[in-house]
């Protein structure tokens, strides 16, 4: 393996003969040791299971960016995320643009290598939240998470009710106020799972650290003793 200076010179010469060699050179080298940790963390994440080879062989073709709806409306490029993730670029851990992705998975379905920027973004977002930086992006969902912990997935948390009435109008309000009666009439039962099922889910959330993470985001006013 040539030394770094020698490699740069070889790459310059190769680039004059074939511009695409620069892309190849910059995409198929191993991440620098200082940054390898982040690339390895992404590659080893279980969610990347079906995409590791694609992740490691991204050829920077840009098909993901050309198909990405978010890239059309913001300063955001899945191709660039794929590249920086492979480089183990630590600035990804403080990059707000990864929150522009809304997981439509178009990039994944179009990638000729089998990479998934959608999943890469999920891993990076999780790391951002773990380190505290990303909390500002998920704090708005705390009320949903509190309700999920307490009762399981069901209706809209009360805190959003006034805003939704304003957005959806009085007809929606009348429907919501009658929803439980209507469901009874139709024999559909509650929107929420049974209390036994909710308790089982809480056990899983306690064991996996979901509750602690919620508390670190200010859920239940930071009251660690909270129980539904
Ligand atoms: S489509 Fe796939 S191979 Fe092409 S740049 Fe995007 S992630 Fe890389
Ligand atoms: S999943 Fe995210 S990155 Fe991929 S195409 Fe959709 S918005 Fe873009």
Span 159-197, pLDDT tens digits: 888 999 999 999 999 999 999 999 999 999 899 999 999
Asked whether residue 24 carries a pLDDT value surpassing 60, the answer given is: no
Most confident of 11-15, 34-38, 217-221: 217-221
Nearest C-alpha neighbor of 90 from the set 163, 17, 34 = 34
Note if the pTM is more than 0.75: no
Residue of the nearest CA to atom 4 in ligand 2?
107
Q: Is 106 in the pocket of ligand 2 (CB under 6 A)?
A: yes
Distance CA 223, CA 215 (A): 7
- Ligand that comes closest to the CA of residue 69: 2
Asked whether residue 8 carries a pLDDT value surpassing 90, the answer given is: no
Atom of ligand 2 minimally distant from the CA of 118: 1
Domain residue limits, the chain: 31-132, 136-222
Atom of ligand 2 minimally distant from the CA of 103: 1
Those residues with Cβ within 8 angstroms of residue 198's Cβ, 6 or more apart along the chain or in another chain: 150, 151, 152, 192, 228
Residue of the nearest CA to atom 7 in ligand 2?
101
Work out the average pLDDT over 94-107: 96
Residue of the nearest CA to atom 5 in ligand 2?
68
| Fold classification of 31-132 (topology level) | Fumarate Reductase Iron-sulfur Protein; Chain B, domain 2 (1.10.1060)
Asked whether residue 13 carries a pLDDT value surpassing 90, the answer given is: no
- Ligand that comes closest to the CA of residue 102: 2
């Amino acid at each position: 393996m040539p030394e770094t200076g020698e490699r740069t010179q070889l790459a310059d010469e190769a680039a004059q003969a074939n511009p695409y060699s620069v892309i190849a050179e910059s995409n198929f080298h191993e991440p620098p040791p200082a940054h390898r940790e982040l690339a390895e963390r992404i590659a080893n994440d279980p969610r990347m299971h079906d995409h590791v080879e694609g992740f490691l062989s991204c050829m920077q073709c840009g098909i993901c960016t050309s198909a990405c709806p978010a890239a059309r409306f913001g300063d955001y490029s899945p191709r660039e995320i794929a590249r920086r993730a492979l480089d183990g670029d630590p600035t990804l851990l403080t990059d707000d643009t990864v929150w522009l992705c809304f997981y439509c998975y178009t990039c994944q379905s179009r990638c000729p290598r089998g990479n998934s920027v959608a999943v890469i973004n999920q891993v990076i977002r999780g790391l951002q939240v773990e380190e505290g930086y990303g909390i500002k992006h998920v704090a708005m969902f705390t009320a949903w998470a509190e309700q999920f912990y307490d009762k399981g997935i069901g209706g809209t948390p009360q805190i959003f009710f006034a805003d939704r009435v304003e957005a959806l109008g009085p007809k929606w309000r009348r429907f919501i106020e009658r929803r439980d009666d209507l469901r009874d009439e139709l024999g559909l039962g509650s929107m929420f799972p049974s209390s036994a099922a909710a308790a089982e889910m809480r056990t899983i959330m306690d064991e996996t650290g979901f509750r602690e993470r919620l508390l670190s985001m200010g859920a239940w006013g930071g009251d660690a003793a909270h129980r539904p």
